[in-house]
């Protein structure tokens, strides 16, 4: 499969935006790390755990931000 590297990143950035993330906190490396860790959709972000996000290699500030978003989401 030949997938343009930018396309998955754009989809993940759109998912982060839809989820309510402050996109100014995210570096390109953070988006890469999320994608490689399997966090590729809003649903993936909603079910993420501290353990999983940390194991994926995300910095503590990004992990905390995603978990804070989970706390304010109405499921």
DSSP string across 20-31: T--GGG--HHHH
Q: What is the dihedral of CA 70, 9, 55, 25, to 10 degrees?
A: -60
* Domain coordinates in residue numbering, the chain: 6-72
CB neighbour list of residue 13: distance below 8 Å, 6 or more residues apart = 23, 26, 31
The encoded tokens of residue 39 equal 């966090």
pLDDT in tens, the chain (75 residues): 344 556 778 989 999 999 899 999 999 999 999 999 999 999 999 999 999 999 999 999 999 999 999 998 754
Listed residue (59, 61, 45) closest to 11, CA to CA: 45
Q: In this structure, which CATH number among 1.10.150, 1.20.58, 1.10.1200, 1.10.3470 belongs to the domain 6-72?
A: 1.10.150
């Amino acid at each position: 499969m030949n997938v343009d590297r930018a396309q998955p990143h754009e989809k993940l950035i759109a998912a982060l935006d839809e989820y309510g993330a402050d996109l100014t906190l995210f570096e390109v490396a953070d988006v890469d790390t999320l994608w490689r860790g399997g966090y590729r959709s809003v649903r993936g972000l909603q079910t993420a755990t501290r353990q999983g996000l940390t194991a994926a290699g995300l910095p503590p500030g990004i992990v905390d931000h995603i978990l804070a978003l989970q706390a304010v989401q109405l499921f």
